[in-house]
Structure 1
Amino acid sequence: MKTGMVTSEDGTHLFYRDTGGQLPVVVLIHGFLQNSLSWQRQFADEDLCAAFRLIAFDLRGHGRSNKPEAPEAYLDSARWADDVAAVLDELGIEKAVLAGWSYGGYVIADYLRKFGTGRLFGLVMAGTSLWLGGENSVRFLAPEIAAIFPRLVSSKPEKNIPALEAFTRNLTAEPLPESLHYECLGYTAVVPPVVRFNMLRRAADNTAVARDAHLPVLVPHGDADRLMPLASGRHLADSFPQARLSVYEGIGHAPFLEAAERFNSELFAFADAAYFQG
């Protein structure tokens, strides 16, 4: 496993993990308040790693990447697009499958908006939606889930620590093993409140972006997802011209973590077919 830093267009340094090689490339993009370690069950899959070059990077503001405080570092869609392009450029990747989880799906939409599909074989959009902010993104949420997000941006520990705990526990339908739960909780704690605040200020409807993306798309989505209800995944799948929805029964917001064996098998088959078709 190789690790290092790439530099985005605005000078932000982004930490990455790379299995290396010249095999077909899958770039894994994690979700809100997480980092590249979220994909540990994909990096641990010997068959997946033998067949593909897996790359994951920490989003700006997360993990070991830089954490600029300026609002425009997070509010500008082009910055997120440039981050993905920087990973592709600096690691010498001509073409790849992009796999995004939750907020990672929004980052993929940012990339599509600015750069199109020319360097992509396909997309995996896991536990995500095309609506960022606004009424559409919260209309399916239970009130107790919607109430978590305002507390996440508080600078007061007595407010944001319980919110981080609640957010982490709602990532999955069933409780994670205690060690993994606290590992995920640690990911959230290193993201400064100002970063959380600016990320949650963003708003976009990426439906039109999806309709213009003519390439294979896999949409794995848990039917017990409390943070991103299945209705948003159905809307996403309906919006891409070549998308297939894969519903995970009894699984929550993180199918790649909760049902890793199935997710890895589907990712393998999808990326293999997309590569040879592309």
Structure 2
Amino acid sequence: MRSEVVGASGVRIGVRVGGQRRAPAIVFVHGWAQSARVWDTQFADPELSRFHLLAPDLRGHGSSEVPEGGYDDPAAWADDLAAVLDLAGGDAVVVGWSYGGLVIADYLRTHGTRGLAGLVFVGAITEIGKGRPGGRVGPAMAGALPAALSDDVDVALPALTALGEGMAAQPVPGEVEQALLGTSLAVPPRVRRALFRRDIGSADALSAVDVPALVLHGTDDAVVDVTAGEYTAGKIEGASTRWWSGVGHLPFVESAREFDTTLRGFAEQAFDDAEGNLGRAER
């Protein structure tokens, strides 16, 4: 099922919707040059489908509108996500994969933890720019740039293909690899470039987090270095961590059953904590 919200500057944001509409919500935020399709396995999981599941396509990606600007503006990313959280209809657990972690950081620096029951960072960056520890990339991403940003398909295609091949450390179905590549190619080159035209740290935003947080990272991630996850975990007081040995940049595909079980347990606890905190506040 698809829905749509209006984000920053009136940009239309497509949202994939599943699960139980009246249940607590989990919002999935995809990464650079991808779409809500990456969460197919999670949307098909009957246990996760007991929650209200929402997965937006980032601006310029998938079914969302492709505006001229806003890609270097933290407030734009924050307000796009805020619109999705409004659709969720209550405090949500937000899962950010790869660049999606930076979108969460943008939301935190703009809106704090309003509307959040918990946060999950999956192979995620939370900063971007030269020398930013929360944005350190691995060899697969470093090797793909800057060719993957080119308007010339003869330049971009080999780079994006190599990046796709480097995403997983465990075998994944060929149709998944091809879907990742196809989605990357469908994102306009100017959008792919624009997402890298940023330089921003997130230490203050992460340090102010006061909801449960989980940092999950594959030790063999060749796209986002595991030290980026360590940085995020170190900045959020009380954050839980899962370092999955032998797993790459796609833990929700490579180790889907363990990922879904971990996410379900975290979400159940986060929603229980949020309900308990609300009850204490009302008293």
Task: Determine if the TM-score, normalized by the shorter chain, exceeds 0.5.
Answer: yes
SS in 2 for 1:246: strand
Paired residues of 1:29 and 1:98 also in contact (CA < 8 A): yes
Structure-2 residue corresponding to 1:95: 91
1:83 alignment partner, one of 80, 83, 97: 80
Paired residues of 2:23 and 2:52 also in contact (CA < 8 A): yes
2:71 alignment partner, one of 69, 74, 81: 74
Structure 1 gap ranges (5+): none
SS in 1 for 2:131: helix
- Over the matched positions of the two proteins, sequence identity in percent amounts to 38
Query: Which one-letter code corresponds to 2:64 in the other structure?
Result: S
- The Cα of 1:69 is off from its aligned counterpart by 2.6
- The Cα of 1:94 is off from its aligned counterpart by 2.1
Q: CA RMSD in A?
A: 1.5
Structure-1 residue corresponding to 2:215: 219
Paired residues of 1:237 and 1:243 also in contact (CA < 8 A): yes
In 1, distance between residues paired with 2:146 and 2:42?
32
Map Cα deviations across residues 142-162 of structure 1 (whole Å, 9 max, x no partner): 3x6413121111111111011
1:172 alignment partner, one of 168, 172, 190: 168
Paired residues of 1:169 and 1:175 also in contact (CA < 8 A): no
Paired residues of 2:109 and 2:205 also in contact (CA < 8 A): yes
Structure-2 residue corresponding to 1:208: 204
In 2, distance between residues paired with 1:92 and 1:226?
33
- The Cα of 1:163 is off from its aligned counterpart by 1.0
In 2, distance between residues paired with 1:269 and 1:134?
36
SS in 2 for 1:180: helix
Structure-2 residue corresponding to 1:230: 226
Paired residues of 2:93 and 2:267 also in contact (CA < 8 A): yes
In 1, distance between residues paired with 2:230 and 2:180?
27
Structure-2 residue corresponding to 1:113: 109
1:256 aligns with 2:234: no
Change (3 A) 1:139 1:209: closer
Paired residues of 1:215 and 1:242 also in contact (CA < 8 A): no
Aligned length: 272
1:182 alignment partner, one of 174, 178, 181: 178
Return the TM-score normalized by structure 1. 0.94
SS in 1 for 2:80: helix
Query: Which one-letter code corresponds to 1:256 in the other structure?
Result: F
1:24 aligns with 2:24: yes
SS in 1 for 2:190: helix
Paired residues of 1:75 and 1:198 also in contact (CA < 8 A): yes
Paired residues of 2:125 and 2:136 also in contact (CA < 8 A): no
In 2, distance between residues paired with 1:14 and 1:59?
7
Change (3 A) 1:140 1:30: closer
- The Cα of 1:178 is off from its aligned counterpart by 1.4
Map Cα deviations across residues 242-265 of structure 1 (whole Å, 9 max, x no partner): 211101110001111111100100
SS in 1 for 2:9: coil
Alignment of 1:4-43 (within 5 A): 4-19=3-18, 20-43=20-43
- The Cα of 1:166 is off from its aligned counterpart by 1.2
1:154 aligns with 2:150: yes
In 1, distance between residues paired with 2:163 and 2:27?
25
Change (3 A) 1:249 1:201: same
Return the TM-score normalized by structure 2. 0.92
